[in-house]
Structure 1
Amino acid sequence: MAELQQLRLEINNAFKLSGFTIRREASIYLAEQLVSLSQQERKKKIDKLLAHILHQCLSQPVLEKQHIEVAYKECSSSGLEESETVLNIIDAFSVPKLNYDNERNKFVKDISASNNLYPEPKWKAQFLIDRYTMIWHRTARNKLFAKETLPSMESENRFQLRKIEVLQSSSSRVDDVIVLGFLAQLTEGKYYLEDPTGSVLLDLTETRYHSGLFTESSFVLAEGYYDDKVLHVMGLVLPPAESRSASLPFFGSLNTFGGKSKTLLKNSQNLLKIEQENEDGVIVFISDVWFDNLKVISKLKTLFAGYNDFPPIAIVFMGEFLSCPYGYEHSTQLRAALINLSDVIFPFTKLRQSCKFIFVPGRGDPVAPNILPRPAIPNSITKEIREKLGDSVIFTTNPCRIQYCTQEFVIMRQDLVTKMCRNSIHFPETGDIPDHLTKTLLSQCTLSPLSLGVQPIYWKHADALNLYPMPDLVVVADHFQPYTRMYQNCHVMNPGSFPRTEFSFKVYVPASRTVEDSQIPNDET
């Protein structure tokens, strides 16, 4: 009894120091909740409770019992603040649009952005200008170009970025030119470099290409000399990528990734603790999951049985979801296949209750056109599986984003290797194609550095394809052979086609930030 009285006195003093008067019933309730804790834990709990109540902006400084009960319950729910979410699936059409503020030298959120799929024509150029601005500022502050370079190193290490209008204003030859621009074919068979100030014809006959895949509509650094209205390119290189840690000062605490939180969850200590403690938590990525194929369903049943006792955080299924070509009965067939899948999942109770099943559509899935970002599969097709499995199934867009604790993942189903190689102006003579692709995507800050004729994009939703600031994991599900690469502390991986790679898939372990190759064993002996 004396301990309770002493604890009540501590509670009253702590609340008085914060400007609150706590009622007797409220202090008794709180003392009863805290009496079993150690002195240090009590202090932490009281401080957290006060911070939570101060955040509520109550109209009166007098705290009743119900105020304390609600606040204590909210503070005890896994130790998370209201805006902190452990797992969040973000569709492409709710990704925040960011603009660069030159006066403040940082990115700010565009609050005027709308979800109009077919905006006014200016947006066709605007999304490319936005991407150019992003890459220009990132490149200009790179150590090779930054003005802050030490004077003693200036002559050998520092280069000067130029705009195209500077070249066009010169009537004589200009040597040692480096220009950042957009690679375009304005006339048949002739390549030009464009930026917001103009365009210049390129002479690529003596060009040495550095690593990466140089496609039309990608941004490149062209090095050479300008003479007689032609830029003679000696070297072509991708803009330097920028690590997440180097980018963060230009975004502050702004939530650049998407989701309910106004601030960046990457800095949350509560979420970091959950992430590190869940050492066995994994996210499974499977691509080309043909739900109408009996062998695939059989292998999935084996997968579900293996994970039932230790459910993963999520299983991400990526399309196409049917093995047959797209036809007039495609929607009906997919609906039947999803109903069958729900019957397969339902008996695995632990898995169904603890794991999220996320569905990312492919190009051949109903009913959207081949334009990115692609909407989720319509509710009319997914109604039965959602009714049977409830909140554990999530049908989202392609691409989509996943936030797990402090980590950020970008997921896309696209046969990107074939498209990039087919549309490159120069195929790499050496090196590994996954290495070239990884470097290209992260240097271009986008999932689709291709012309609109090759891969159409909803102009006003190009931000959904952004890879800047750099996420922790980029999944590009492709028919190409499976691979995992690491570049600037960012994993880029392809799980490969599930049925075509003898039922292999990828597993990501957030606690250790590692990618594991997995495969369902063959039953045949």
Structure 2
Amino acid sequence: MAELQQVKSEVNSAFKLSGFTIRRDASTFVAEQLLDMNYQERKRMIDKLISHLLHQCLSQPVLEKQHLEVAYRECSSLGLEESETVLNVIDAFSIPKIHYDNERKKFVKDANFVKNLFPEPKWKAQLFIDRYTIIWQRTIRNKLFATETLPTTTDVKRFSLRKIEVLLSNSSRVDDVIVLGFLTQLTEGKFYLEDPTGSVVLDMTQTRYHSGLFTESSFVLAEGFYEDKVLHVMGLVLPPSEVRLMSSPYFGNINTFGGKSRTLLKNSQNLLKLEQDNEDGIIVFLSDVWFDNLKVISKLKTLFSGFNEFPPIAIVFLGEFLSCPYGYEHSTQLKAALINLGDMIYPFTKLRESCKFIFVPGLGDPAAPNILPRPPIPSIVTKDISNKLGDAVIFTSNPCRIQYCTQEIVVLRQDLVTKMCRNSIHFPETGDIPDHITKTLLSQCTLSPLSLGVQPIFWKHADALSLYPIPDLVVIGDQFQPYTRSYQNCQVINPGSFPHTEFSFKVYIPSSRTVEDSEIPNDDS
């Protein structure tokens, strides 16, 4: 009691010196909150409370208990400002529209952009023009092409990047041609290179392919010579990608990632400190989680039991969520499986209260066509588990984005390896597929460098698939074998199919930016 009175005396004196009159019940409330702190911590918190109240422009200097309750709640929220969120799951349909302003040489947010699923036909071409513009401005700054920024004494060989209209205007042979363009078949069996200024026929009989996967509708750098209205391609290479540090100055502080904050939370010092201090915080990724499979459910129960004492930041489930299609009963079966999952999670109190369960649908989950981005599972299927677990469960789109403190995570459920290898015009002879996939995705600035016939996209929502500027982590839920790759300070991981890989999954540790392979042990014996 004597200690409480001493703290009350400190509180009263501090507020009085700042010109406030504090009610008795208000000073008692503050003293009770500060009782377990040492003198320095108490002083810092009192100063924060006074500073907060001074900025409130109160009508009179008399402080009631409710004033202090609000002030204390806001000042003790991990020291974060109102716009700073620790964990934010961002739906693909709310991603901001960013475009490159050629005059200002920077990216700006289009505040008047109206998104819809069925826009005018011009938007089909516009999504590729936007992607071309992003890749062009990034490539022209690369040290191989940026002649303006390189000193004349440099030993780096410099190249000239041309537009297709320049080639078409020549009637004679042009050597040492390098063109950035869109690889397409305008007539069957004949490849063309296209950019916003025109298109040119390609002769690829002598082409040497560099690393990466070259699919139709991808952007490439074609090197060779131009003669008789044909570009003879000697070398085909992916456009160079760019580390985040190089891209950032062209975006300023606008929020390119999405979420409620106006500014980019990647630059928040408060969130960075929180991220580094939470050394034990992890995010778990599992793919192909079949909630109707008894073996999978048993393994998930083991997983929840193991994490209950030290809950992760989030557990991300990637579809499909049922082991086989059930026809017209598919939604009913999934609803029942989710109710069972909710009942299983509920007894794990610490896990339920401290961890977020994020669900990213797959191609076979109800009820959307095979077009990216695809919306979340309908609420009529998920309402029971949502009612039981409340804010702990989040059903989101595919792809989706996760912002944890300053880290940007992009999540996609797609069998990308199969699609890209099947539609590649040249299968690489050396290197492993995960390396090629990683390099291709970051080079193309998109999660789907495929033709719209292979992977349809909602034209006005193509920004949801963007990988520029490069995020910290890209998660591809693929049935291909699990892998972890790092390129341009970005990690690309595939957790693999949960039931087909001896129940393995990936664990991401944000504080150290490391990925660990984990597996639920087989306890059959």
TM-score by length of 2: 0.92
Task: Compute the displacement of 1:267 (Å).
Answer: 1.3
The amino acid across from 1:491 in the alignment is Q
* CA distance, structure 2, for counterparts of residue 44 and residue 142 of structure 1: 49
Aligned twin of 1:65: 63
Aligned twin of 1:346: 346
Task: Compute the displacement of 1:51 (Å).
Answer: 7.1
Aligned twin of 1:25: 22
Task: Compute the displacement of 1:144 (Å).
Answer: 1.1
Moved more, 113-122 or 439-448: 113-122
* CA distance, structure 2, for counterparts of residue 339 and residue 244 of structure 1: 42
Task: Compute the displacement of 1:252 (Å).
Answer: 1.2
Task: Compute the displacement of 1:65 (Å).
Answer: 2.4
1:149 aligns with 2:147: no
* CA distance, structure 2, for counterparts of residue 443 and residue 123 of structure 1: 23
Task: Compute the displacement of 1:153 (Å).
Answer: 2.5
Q: 5 Å matches for 1:263-274?
A: 263-274=263-274
| Alpha carbons 1:26, 1:68 under 8 Å: kept | no
Cα 1:63–1:170 change in 2 (3 A) is: farther
| Alpha carbons 2:49, 2:71 under 8 Å: kept | no
- When the two chains are superposed, the root-mean-square deviation of aligned CA atoms in Å is 2.4
1:119 aligns with 2:116: no
* CA distance, structure 1, for counterparts of residue 293 and residue 124 of structure 2: 41
Cα 1:227–1:79 change in 2 (3 A) is: same
* CA distance, structure 2, for counterparts of residue 321 and residue 232 of structure 1: 48
Aligned twin of 2:492: 492
Deviation per CA, 1:210-235: give whole Å up to 9, x if none. Answer: 10000000011111111111111111
1:225 aligns with 2:225: yes
Q: 5 Å matches for 1:160-199?
A: 160-199=160-199
Moved over 4 A (4+): 1-13, 26-41, 51-54, 60-64, 66-69
* CA distance, structure 2, for counterparts of residue 501 and residue 429 of structure 1: 27
* CA distance, structure 2, for counterparts of residue 482 and residue 249 of structure 1: 35
Identity of aligned residues (%): 72
| Secondary structure of residue in 2 paired with 1:257 | coil
| Secondary structure of residue in 2 paired with 1:339 | helix
Moved more, 509-518 or 95-104: 95-104
* CA distance, structure 1, for counterparts of residue 267 and residue 519 of structure 2: 35
Deviation per CA, 1:106-149: give whole Å up to 9, x if none. Answer: 11111112231111111111111111111111111111111211
1:251 aligns with 2:251: yes
The amino acid across from 1:82 in the alignment is E
| Secondary structure of residue in 1 paired with 2:506 | strand
The amino acid across from 1:300 in the alignment is L
Q: 5 Å matches for 1:41-440?
A: 42=43, 46=47, 50=51, 54=55, 58=57, 64-65=62-63, 70-146=70-146, 147-153=148-154, 156-325=156-325, 327-440=327-440
| Alpha carbons 1:508, 1:514 under 8 Å: kept | yes
| Secondary structure of residue in 2 paired with 1:70 | helix
Task: Compute the displacement of 1:347 (Å).
Answer: 1.4
Deviation per CA, 1:486-524: give whole Å up to 9, x if none. Answer: 001101000000111111111111111111101111112
Task: Compute the displacement of 1:104 (Å).
Answer: 2.3
Moved more, 215-224 or 34-43: 34-43
Cα 1:515–1:52 change in 2 (3 A) is: farther
| Secondary structure of residue in 1 paired with 2:493 | strand
Deviation per CA, 1:275-302: give whole Å up to 9, x if none. Answer: 1111111111000011111111111111
Cα 1:279–1:52 change in 2 (3 A) is: farther
Moved more, 379-388 or 434-443: 379-388
| Alpha carbons 2:15, 2:22 under 8 Å: kept | no
| Secondary structure of residue in 2 paired with 1:161 | coil
* CA distance, structure 1, for counterparts of residue 164 and residue 53 of structure 2: 54
| Alpha carbons 1:413, 1:478 under 8 Å: kept | yes
Deviation per CA, 1:59-109: give whole Å up to 9, x if none. Answer: x78655256653343122221111111110001001111011223221111
| Secondary structure of residue in 2 paired with 1:403 | strand
* CA distance, structure 1, for counterparts of residue 253 and residue 46 of structure 2: 26
The count of corresponding residues between Structure 1 and Structure 2 is: 514
| Alpha carbons 2:241, 2:443 under 8 Å: kept | yes
* CA distance, structure 1, for counterparts of residue 238 and residue 444 of structure 2: 8
| Secondary structure of residue in 1 paired with 2:22 | helix
| Alpha carbons 1:96, 1:109 under 8 Å: kept | yes
Cα 1:235–1:41 change in 2 (3 A) is: farther
* CA distance, structure 2, for counterparts of residue 453 and residue 7 of structure 1: 69
* CA distance, structure 1, for counterparts of residue 492 and residue 7 of structure 2: 57
| Alpha carbons 2:49, 2:72 under 8 Å: kept | no
Task: Compute the displacement of 1:46 (Å).
Answer: 3.3
TM-score by length of 1: 0.92
| Secondary structure of residue in 1 paired with 2:372 | coil
| Alpha carbons 1:180, 1:222 under 8 Å: kept | yes
* CA distance, structure 2, for counterparts of residue 69 and residue 345 of structure 1: 33
